[in-house]
Chains A and B, each alone.
Chain A
Amino acid sequence: MAETFELEVATPDRLLVKDQVTEAQIPALNGFLGVLPEHAPLLSELGSGLLSYTVGGKAHSVVVSGGWVEVQPHGTRVLAKTAERPDEIDLKRAQESLDRAERRLKESGEWDIARALQAAERARARVEAASKSGR
């Protein structure tokens, strides 16, 4: 059995990750998806959150949101609307958008709840990832 599989994370304007990984945790729309080598073929929409993966025993992560994930035995492809490495995230701006989204959720009515929820979820993932990266 293969030890690793290829993980590819791409957004419309760039390829973020292309690596041989031993495992990956992918935030699919219906909850996290743990992928190991030789996983059965699977297609799902992507949610938003922290996508973590392990290359040679070292853990890495990227924040993704929106898009699709395609799992095949030899490789997994993640096509995200947006994807960032934690060190690219501006913590202050992420925090601001999280605050804004939460405020909208509390006030409710005026805003599209579904959109505010999504925004909050996305912002929370970014804030968590950015603060973890040690800043």
Chain B
Amino acid sequence: MPSLIDFRRRIRSVKNTQQITKAMKMVSAAKLRRAQDAVIAARPFANSLRQMLANVANATKGSDTAAENPLLVVRPEERVLVIIINADRGLAGAFSTNINRGAQKFLTEDKAGKTVEIEAVGKKARDYFRRRGFTISGEMMNVTKAPKYADAATLGRKVVERYSNGEVDSVYLVYNEFKSVMAARLDIVQLLPVPLPQEQASVDYIFEQPAEELLATLLPRYVEVAIYRAILESTAAEHAARMTAMDSASSNAADVIERLTLYMNRVRQASITREIIEVVSGASALD
């Protein structure tokens, strides 16, 4: 039977852990707020760009030069490039496992038999897929700490270049979309060839530059913005997942402490009772 002192030690150790998980929860909550703000701040540009692209796409419909744009050309899909956005650090519950599992399922089931390459964003994605022998054509670490547009742009330019050179036939983006603090949704979107957004009413624009030229400059930026948005969403989702995980860890610790305290008191009670019995029986022996 563990002694009183053992219980005290266990309780102290669990309390220390609880303090750490509580602190991590607070930190994640603060970071989550910042990440959410960033997601919201990036929205107007992304939405406007999408509408503008839809308008230009409408205006260039049927034009051969536009259809020949290297980012719209559809080739038979043999070589697939997948950008997987994951966390750099753990302790976020099932966050990174969800993305990696989902991405692996997509690669091995939907894209079975095709040559697959991976652009890993975040340590968790790189390590997981490297261990399983996937080809990793590039990696980007520690960008989720403070997502910058420049990082997304670098990655965007790289995949656009590889696609236009015909090195890959399609590019996909796998990331966790931030729905709410409790829920993230795994999202897989096709980046290249660019699926043109469809909008109904076409406006008769005055084009300062030929529409085809505008299209050619809009498309690469559209890809960059999509990547940037995915990184922001994933960062927010990561902090939310970590916050939830740390919250449940803290309450688990509280449960453990409560149970241990109960045991400890029982042990203490038992030893007191035993001592009393000893004293009483010792006294009665003298009579």
Contacts and interface: CB of A to CB of B under 8 A. Distances in A.
Given A12-B42, A72-B203, A29 B52 contact: no
Contacts of A41: 203-206
Contacts of A38: none
A43 B60 CA distance: 13
A10 B48 contact: yes
Contacts of A8: 44, 48
B176 interface: no
B149 interface: yes
Interface residues of A, number: 22
B165 interface: no
A29 B45 contact: no
Interface in A7-59: 8, 10-15, 18, 28-30, 40-45
Interface string B203-224: 1111111010010011000001
B178 interface: no
Contacts of A14: 41-42, 45
Of the listed residues B45, B48, B55, the one surrounded by the most CB atoms of chain A closer than 10 A to its CB is B45
Interface residues of B, number: 26
Given A12-B149, A15-B41, A40-B206, A45 B214 contact: yes
Contacts of B55: 43, 70
Contacts of B207: 42-44
Given A10-B44, A12-B45, A77 B209 contact: no
Nearest to B218: A68
Of the listed residues A13, A15, A40, A45, the one surrounded by the most CB atoms of chain B closer than 10 A to its CB is A13
Of the listed residues A8, A12, A14, A41, the one surrounded by the most CB atoms of chain B closer than 10 A to its CB is A12
Nearest to A12: B149
Nearest to B148: A13
A11 B207 CA distance: 22
A79 B208 contact: no
A89 to B, nearest CB: 19
Given A43-B208, A44-B209, A15 B52 contact: no
Going nearest first, the 7 A-B pairs with the smallest beta carbon separation are A44-B208, A10-B45, A15-B44, A42-B206, A12-B149, A14-B41, A10-B44
17 contacts: A10-B45, A13-B42, A13-B149, A14-B42, A14-B45, A18-B44, A29-B208, A40-B206, A41-B205, A42-B206, A43-B56, A43-B205, A68-B218, A70-B55, A72-B203, A79-B45, A79-B49
